[in-house]
Structure 1
Amino acid sequence: MSQTNLYPDLKKKLEVLNKLEVPSYRKEVLNPLINFIQKEKDSGNQIQLNFICTHNSRRSQLGQVWAKAISAHNGIDTDCFSGGTEETAFFKNAIDALRRAGFRINSEAGENPHSEVFYSEEQKPVVCYSKVYDAPENPSENFAAVMTCSHADENCPFIPGSKARIALDYNDPKEFDDTPLAEKKYNERSDQIGSEMIYVFENIK
């Protein structure tokens, strides 16, 4: 897969995120994901990542979108999914954080709307909406279950069909909903996930 050209605003955002230092303790947390991706790539297998949190509304969606955009930008072919232990909706504050980062998003109306998240003129959008992790559209085998919250990690001790289970555990920006800090905290979480996905995919040979 050749490298994908991102939208200009999104590419500028990646340049900013690339300057953020990933702490050493987080690098240790991310190493199992790097190892999984590298092993699948070396084996010629399709790289399938399913980002999982409780409600599939914030952190898992951010993980799915950033992983897909950054892997494509680095010329690494991945299939990125997300799911939860229950179905809710892709939360507006998380969508807005991605828009501010430079993604272009078309969202439907409704209780659990589908959102098309575009990152390049060259690629199809990531279609995001809340679903359970084992929904029919998600992979049933040969994938990494990337646990983005401790609650889902603790309450789903076994993910059927997964080749690897990788706990990343991001703090939930939900606690800042309906406060003056909401935009800042959602930006921080989106930026953290984006910068860590940059670190992951830049370490794939």
Structure 2
Amino acid sequence: MYLELSIKIKEIQQLSVSNERKEVLQPLVDYIQNKVENQKQIRINFICTHNSRRSHLSQIWAQTAAAFFQIDNVFCYSGGTEATALFPMVAKTLANSGFNVLTAMSGENPVYAIKYAPNEHPVIGFSKKYDDQFNPESEFAAIMTCSQADGGCPFIPGAEKRIPITFDDPKEFDNTPLQEEKYQEKSLQIATEMFFVFSQIKK
């Protein structure tokens, strides 16, 4: 892990997850644990409406947590019910947390390469539909990160398991003095919960 990110992870590990949220997260813990015990690949697709904020934060923090706890064969993805663009404040928030965020391709829907460690593959971040060819077609868990996507997608083709783990949208603070602070808060919450999930896995 990069040094600045390692410092952030120490901060994250000091934060607690409420019993209520632990219950929400338990189905994902069980899904991952089952895959580990059966020595199968673990594919997790985090799905939100626009694949612009919460789904990307969840994807990147989950992939980082899996690496941190040395849970092998974890592949995290993200998608939306529609494609828009990864919101720039998400990229900035990740960079401020210690990730190395590179713009691989600019444009209306830019592509980012987001690295948590110098020698590891980057997570490729860009907005796409949940069934985009970039994402797995089958044998994955679909994690619904926003209530709108949860309600709008009662069925995700190819998913072995559909798990609602919803987060409040930091978008409501866009173009306000609180924007950066609220995005950091949401990133910390998601990071804390993803680190809790992977800390529960017995190898």
TM-score range, shorter chain: over 0.9
2:129 partner amino acid: V
Normalised by the length of structure 2, the TM-score is 0.97
1:37 partner amino acid: I
Q: Which residue of 2 aligns with 1:152?
A: 149
SS class of match (2:45): strand
Q: CA deviation at 1:184?
A: 0.7
Q: Distance in 1 between matches of 2:190 and 2:144?
A: 13
Give unpaired runs (5+ residues) of structure 1: 1-5
Question: Given the alignment of the two structures, is residue 137 of structure 1 paired with residue 140 of structure 2, yes or no?
Answer: no
Q: Which residue of 2 aligns with 1:54?
A: 49
Q: Which residue of 1 aligns with 2:168?
A: 171
Give unpaired runs (5+ residues) of structure 2: none
Question: Given the alignment of the two structures, is residue 103 of structure 1 paired with residue 99 of structure 2, yes or no?
Answer: yes
Q: How large is the Cα RMSD of the aligned pairs? A: 0.6
Q: Distance in 1 between matches of 2:118 and 2:65?
A: 14
Match of 2:63 among 52, 68, 89: 68
2:7 partner amino acid: K
Normalised by the length of structure 1, the TM-score is 0.96
SS class of match (1:157): coil
Match of 1:126 among 115, 119, 123: 123
Q: Distance in 2 between matches of 1:155 and 1:186?
A: 24
Q: CA deviation at 1:50?
A: 0.2
Q: Distance in 1 between matches of 2:152 and 2:194?
A: 25
Q: CA deviation at 1:44?
A: 1.1
Alignment length, in residue pairs? 200
Q: Distance in 2 between matches of 1:20 and 1:100?
A: 18
Q: Which residue of 1 aligns with 2:90?
A: 94
SS class of match (1:26): helix
Q: Distance in 2 between matches of 1:160 and 1:114?
A: 25
